[in-house]
Amino acid sequence: MKSIPAATDSGRSSNWALTNKRREALAGYLFLAPYLVFFLVFLAGPVISAFVTAFVEWELLRGTYRFIGLENFQLIMEDDLFWIAMGNSLYFALMTTAGNVVVALCAALALKSIRLGHTLFRVVMYAPVVLSISVIGIIFSRLLAPFGLLNAGLELLGHKGFDYLADPNLVLPSLSLTTIWWGFGFPMLIFLAALYAVPEALYEAARIDGAGRRQILWRVTLPLIRPALLFIIVTQFIAHIQVFGQPYIMTNGGGPGYSSYTIVLHIYRNAFSYYHMGYAGAMALSLGVVMFVFALAQFRLLGRYTEY
Amino acid sequence: MHSDRRTLLMKRLNKVGTYAFLTLLLLIVLFPTVWVVGQAFMPEEQILKWPVQIIPREPTLDNFIEIFTTKLSRQELSLFRWLFNSLYVTTLSAIGVLLVTSMAGYAFARLRFPGKQLLFFGLGASFLVPGVMLLIPSFMLMRALGWIDTHHALIWPPLAGFFGVFFMRQFFLAIPSELAEAAVIDGASAFGIYWRVFLPLSRPAVATLGIFTFLFIWNDFTWPLVVLNSDEMRTLPVGLVVFLGEYWSYQGIVMAGAVVSSAPVLIVYIIFQRQITRAVMATGFGGR
């Protein structure tokens, strides 16, 4: 396509248009080709293999690899640790998602209503999101230690404090609070974007109709940012049910006992400590199904009046 | 008249309440950070004092010197090695992601070819696959390729991520087509239009995607934990957790490690906070 030929006779011109179209299509495929290669090898391949692995007995140490149908899933049914871990992960995900949504929504509503200091507040509150879980884990296992920062603060108030990470009842809520501290800045920004998108005229109209602040929040603001709420609830739940780094780093892989033993820890341990690849794969697929069902339920419950 | 004054008072009170709430949140975020930095510069005797000390009385660099000079393992490595590994892996992978996904994004935004729509949604469906389902198959793939305990395992797989394609496509779509037409008349090839017209025009998008990719790969924990097993290959976040196992009782050293590991990402964040904020708000992706 070095130069555009002068279209003197109509026949040549239409012929040229055809090859031009082909050239563009060829260019399109060529531009896509490198990405497609990576996509097929590192994403599509593993996705297919994830489904196959779940139905295979695959012992890396013994070198066995054979198709066993649903046997892995029968094993899951009898695996007490799987159910304990699944319960812990669900509890953690629900708590963390709820906490994050409430804190982030309040922060976004507050941020939207101020001008002075807006950037400072926003920049600081999002900053923890860019930190690695290893840093967060290291800092908070110190902060929540018996002689850590939090108990030092409680002592000032005259309370003897808690052993947050060693108490079976406190450990998951503590990991959840850590995670909220780490991540609420992200849903906050999403809510803020949604709040800015609500036309100011709607608030005006509500105010003229005599609506109070609370009424405006429940009748105008929340219904209008419903798509953002739904998006955050679903994606946060999916992210937090896969919790791994927090207990891996902060509670020595799920302690005390199995109080903070999560499903991804169980998968990790089966795959990379015992090398039961097939069994671990079946658990990962089961978790995928659980996430899918929950996401669907959340769409049904919350998305009824949402239009996409 | 009376009700007017009341609403004005209410408004003021609301404003005060709003600032009080935001300040509280700000302190909750900042306080642990100040404490960590304080402890990193504190001699061990002061750290052991109760109640907890916040400000170092005699600031010292000993903790930092210790983590950079002590041999961290049998292979006689220092933290420099992990810092280098992280920088190396992150930079190469980010460059790869930028090249490959911007080309694909360009094809989806500006070129017409059969099957485009179908392909776009087919690739986009990969967003729905949860990470945990890919962990084991990806590990087996790395084994098959002989990439276990090599940096290839960290550099190449991120190039398959669809986010970059989606993100660059959005940006390329917004560029006026007159510019491309001008380039065609000047005799530019398809690649020339991409490379000399579209890529330079989308410098802000390329920068943002680069930062997102950098943060994502730098901070990743689970994947490097799974595919790397020798101390000399580890990246900083994983190395830190492994190394701190040995130094767990020396809090100052632990905190110095946390500071060194988070400094690069925080610097990047502060410099580019405007781009990051805008991209998060526009795309709904959080950069991790």
Can you tell me the distance from the alpha carbon of A280 to that of A82, in angstroms, rounded to the nearest whole number? 10
Residue B203 lies in a domain: yes
Compute the nearest-CA separation of A280 from chain B (Å). Answer: 8
pLDDT, tens digit, for every residue of A207-223? 888 888 888 888 889 98
Backbone angles phi, psi at B125, to 5 degrees: -60, -20
**Same domain, residue pair B26 and B56:** yes
Tokens 């509890």, located at residue: A91
* C-alpha to C-alpha distance for A121 and A112, rounded to whole angstroms: 11
Q: Are residues B32 and B99 in the same domain?
A: no
Q: How far is CA B174 from CA A24, A105, A120, A306, in A?
A: 20, 31, 30, 27
User: Is the Cβ of B52 closer than 8 Å to some Cβ of chain A?
Assistant: yes
Is there a cis peptide before residue A223, judged by omega within 30 degrees of 0? no
Residue B22 near chain A (CB below 8 Å): yes
- If asked whether residues B110 and B224 sit together in one domain, one would say yes
Give the amino acid at B257.
G
Q: CA-CA distance, A145 to B45, in Å (whole number)?
A: 18
pLDDT at A2 over 70: no
SS3 (DSSP) at A66? strand
Question: Per the CB < 8 Å rule, is A31 touching B32?
Answer: no
Domain range list for chain A: 11-48, 72-302
Token digits for B91?
A: 């930079």
Residues of chain B contacting A269 with CB distance shorter than 8 Å: none
- Please report where in the chains the tokens 């070198």 appear, as a residue: A63
For B162, name the nearest residue in chain A, comparing CA atoms only: A39
Q: Which amino acid is at B5?
A: R
The tens digit of pLDDT for each residue in A241-269 reads: 999 999 999 998 898 999 999 999 999 99
Positions of chain B with pLDDT under 50: 1
Give the torsion through C-alpha atoms of B95, B269, B243, A146, to 10 deg: -150
Per the structure, the count of domains in chain B is 2
Q: Which helix (H) or strand (E) holds A64?
A: strand A64-67
Interval A17-22 mean pLDDT: 76
Chain A residue with Cα closest to B120: A32
Minimum CA–CA partner of A278 in chain B: B136
- Confidence band (pLDDT; 50, 70, 90) for A303? low
Tokens 């940096």 correspond to what residue?
A: B151
| Average of per-residue pLDDT values in chain A | 89
Q: What angle do CA A138, A139, A141 make, to 5 degrees?
A: 70
Under 8 Å between Cβ of A235 and A294? no
Give yes or no for residue A168 having a pLDDT over 70. Answer: yes
ipTM of the complex: 0.89
Cα distance between the two ends of chain A: 41
Token pair, residue A217, equals 């929040």
Tell me which of B18, B136, B145 to substitute to probe the interface with A (most A C-beta atoms closer than 10 Å). Answer: B136
User: Cα(A198)–Cα(A133) distance, rounded to whole angstroms?
Assistant: 34
A161 has pLDDT over 60: yes
**Do B120 and B46 belong together in one domain?**
no
Are both B133 and B235 inside the same structural domain? yes
Q: What integer pLDDT is reported at residue A305 of this predicted model?
A: 53
Does residue A87 or residue B129 have the better pLDDT?
A: A87
Instruction: Report which DSSP code applies to A241.
Output: H
* Tens digit of each residue's pLDDT (9 = 90 or more) over A28-56: 999 999 999 999 999 999 999 999 999 99
Q: End of a domain among B60, B85, B108?
A: B60
Q: Which residue has the higher pLDDT, A307 or A255?
A: A255
**Domain extent for B208:** 73-283
- Cα angle for residues A288, B150, B142 (degrees, 5° grid): 35
Check residue A307 and give its pLDDT.
Answer: 45
Provide the b/e sequence for B268-277 (b: ≥16 CB within 10 Å): bbeebbebbb
Task: Supply the pTM of this predicted model.
Answer: 0.90
Question: Does the residue B68 lie in any domain?
Answer: no
Asked if A281 is an interface residue toward chain B (Cβ–Cβ < 8 A), one would say yes
Q: Are residues B203 and B80 located together in one domain of the fold?
A: yes
The CATH number of whichever domain residue B98 belongs to comes to: 1.10.3720.10
pLDDT tens per residue across span A93-118: 999 999 999 999 999 999 998 989 99
Architecture of domain A72-302: Orthogonal Bundle (1.10)
What is the Cα gyration radius of chain A? 26
Beta-bridge partners for A66: A57
Indicate if B12 and B81 belong to the same structural domain: no
Q: Which residues of B226-245 are buried (b: 16+ CB within 10 A; e: fewer)?
A: bbbeebebbbbbbbbbebbe
Model pLDDT, residue B240: 87
**Is the same domain home to B24 and B136?**
no
Task: Give the closest-approach CA distance of B76 to chain A in angstroms.
Answer: 22
Task: State whether B141 and B259 are in the same domain.
Answer: yes
CB contacts, 8 Å: B18 with chain A: 110, 113-114
Report the distance separating Cα A92 and Cα B179, nearest Å: 52
Assigned token pair, A58: 């695959």
Please tell me the predicted confidence (pLDDT) of residue A209: 87
